[in-house]
Amino acid sequence: MTSKAFVQVELNAGLEFVHHLYARFPGRIPVPVGGGMKGVVYPLVMYDGPEALGCIGCAWHDGLRDNEVQVYHFSAFLPGRGHGTRMMEQVCKLADQFGVALTLMPQPRWTESGEPLDEVALRQWYRKFDFTGLGYMTRVAQPILRENAS
C-alpha cells in the first residue's frame, strides 16, 4: 500500500481569490496555460448570466506575494463585442474584494479577421482597468468604498 504525502498550504489572499473564481465558474478548457501551486493551470469559462464570454487562467504560486495572482491567459470568445470588458470588470471587482493584485503579460492574438491585435492597443485596453507597467503589467487592488449606514 502506498501513502501519499500532502503538504498543507495556508490560504492567503491570492489562493482565496483563485479558489473563489474557479468555484464560481466551474467550466474548464482542457488546454494548459501555466503552472501554479497544484500543477497545471487550465482556463475557466466566464459567464454573464447564461452567456459564455471568454476564458481566464490564473494562479498563485510561491514566486508571488501573498496578495498577488498571475493571469496566464485572458481572452474573449468574440473579440470586439465588449465581452472582454465585461469579464475584466468581474475579475477586477473580485480582486478588489479579496485585496489581490493581478499580474499579466499582454499577448496580442489573432482575431477572426486574420489581423493580429496591436500590442499598443492591448496595453491601452489593460490601462483602462488600472494595469501599469512596461513588460509585465500589474493592477493593484482598489479600496472598496462603502456607504455609511447612518
CATH code for position 97: 3.40.630.30
Asked if the structure places residue 28 within a domain, the reply is yes
pLDDT at 20 over 50: yes
Handedness of CA 63, 65, 69, 70 (dihedral sign): negative
pLDDT at 134 over 60: yes
Name the domain count of the chain.
Answer: 1
Q: Which residues contact 115 (CB under 8 A, 6 or more apart)?
A: none
* 3-class SS of residue 123: helix
Asked if the structure places residue 6 within a domain, the reply is no
> Which uninterrupted H or E stretch holds 72?
strand 68-76
Asked if the structure places residue 58 within a domain, the reply is yes
* 3-class SS of residue 150: coil
Q: Which of 22, 9, 18 is nearest to 100 (CA)?
A: 18
pLDDT at 78 over 60: yes
Asked if the structure places residue 4 within a domain, the reply is no
Asked if the structure places residue 7 within a domain, the reply is no
Asked if the structure places residue 144 within a domain, the reply is no
Asked if the structure places residue 5 within a domain, the reply is no
Residue ranges in the chain assigned as alpha helix (H): 13-24, 83-98, 119-127
Residue 148: per-residue pLDDT:
54
* pLDDT per residue as tens digits for the range 21-76: 999 998 999 999 987 666 789 999 999 999 999 999 999 988 899 999 999 999 99
Q: Which domain holds residue 39?
A: 13-139
**How many C-alpha atoms does 115 have within 13 Å on its Cβ side?**
6
Note the pTM of the prediction, 2 decimals. 0.86
Asked if the structure places residue 103 within a domain, the reply is yes
Classify burial at 140, counting beta carbons within 10 Å of its beta carbon; exposed 0-12, middle 13-18, buried 19 or more. Answer: middle
